[in-house]
């Protein structure tokens, strides 16, 4: 199963440029090129590959949870062959924008590793990737990308770009010195408000607590965090895409802190 995240975003306070069906990468403002890095096959038969997106200097694209002013990415592998599953390994993002219109993502380049599981480990995987992403400078462009690649079995040579991206994952709870995590819940008109208090040293001048919910039919709207000493507080509103939420599973609420410099994964709301 291919797993992605959904978020609620405010209206972007920039001009949105639409692309016609016959436009190419060269016609897309801010986008240099995009490709699939073939990577290598792992001992368990899966492949480690990556999507590489190169942007003009100063342009940015977005994390799986893009913030209130970001454009959420969407990836489709329809048309691929010998493909069982794809799991992305997102590198550490940064926070940008102002207090009211903020977003989370990457500047200039994104190398997004992915673990590709074939149906038959001894045969090549033919990847057909169609992606809808947002790229922004003073203009925001919803870009459509189409890429193909053949992942060959027994390829073992590792690519430096992918290795570096895997090493730049968000820091762990232990690495940033985080301690207590408290989640409080309140229900109002079919929505669940989650208030989060974290005991964590300062990660940057501006910080945001990001709540992600591991269910494609659930939306999360995050708000900017407030700091008092070593305590960082924030909240998120969780709602179902159609109808009322029947229940919330604490173990599916993933918590991250993102600053203008770095990001950290702080686990879930499970006590």
Predicted pLDDT at 67: 87
Predicted pLDDT at 25: 56
- Quote the pTM value: 0.86
Predicted pLDDT at 2: 45
What is the pLDDT averaged over residues 233-252? 85
Least Cα distance to 203 among 184, 234, 227, 181 occurs for 227
Predicted pLDDT at 1: 41
Task: Tell me the average pLDDT of the chain.
Answer: 87
* pLDDT bucket at 271, cuts 50 / 70 / 90: low
What is the pLDDT averaged over residues 189-212? 91
What is the pLDDT averaged over residues 239-267? 89
pLDDT of residue 270 exceeding 90, the answer is no
């Amino acid at each position: 199963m291919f797993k992605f995240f959904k978020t609620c975003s405010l209206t972007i306070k920039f001009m949105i440029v639409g692309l016609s069906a016959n436009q190419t990468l060269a016609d897309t403002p801010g986008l240099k090129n995009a490709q699939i890095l073939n990577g290598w096959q792992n001992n368990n038969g899966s492949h480690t590959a990556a999507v590489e997106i190169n942007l003009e200097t100063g342009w940015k694209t977005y994390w799986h949870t893009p913030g209130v002013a970001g454009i959420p990415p969407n990836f489709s592998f329809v048309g691929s062959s010998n493909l069982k599953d794809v799991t992305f390994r997102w590198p550490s993002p940064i926070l940008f924008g102002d207090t009211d219109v903020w977003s989370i993502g990457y500047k200039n380049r994104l190398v997004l590793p992915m673990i590709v599981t074939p149906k038959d480990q001894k045969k090549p995987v033919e990847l057909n990737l169609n992606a809808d992403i947002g790229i922004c400078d003073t203009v925001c462009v919803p870009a459509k990308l189409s890429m193909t690649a053949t992942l060959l079995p027994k390829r073992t040579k590792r690519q430096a770009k992918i290795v570096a991206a895997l090493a730049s994952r968000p820091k762990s709870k232990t690495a940033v010195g985080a301690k207590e995590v408290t989640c409080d819940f309140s229900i109002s008109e079919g929505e669940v408000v989650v208030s989060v208090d974290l005991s964590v040293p300062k990660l940057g001048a501006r910080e945001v607590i990001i709540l992600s919910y591991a269910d494609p039919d659930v939306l999360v709207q995050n708000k900017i965090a407030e700091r008092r000493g070593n305590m960082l507080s924030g909240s998120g509103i969780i709602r179902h895409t159609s109808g009322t939420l029947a229940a919330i599973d604490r173990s599916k609420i993933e918590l991250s802190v993102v600053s203008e410099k770095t990001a950290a994964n702080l686990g879930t709301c499970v006590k």
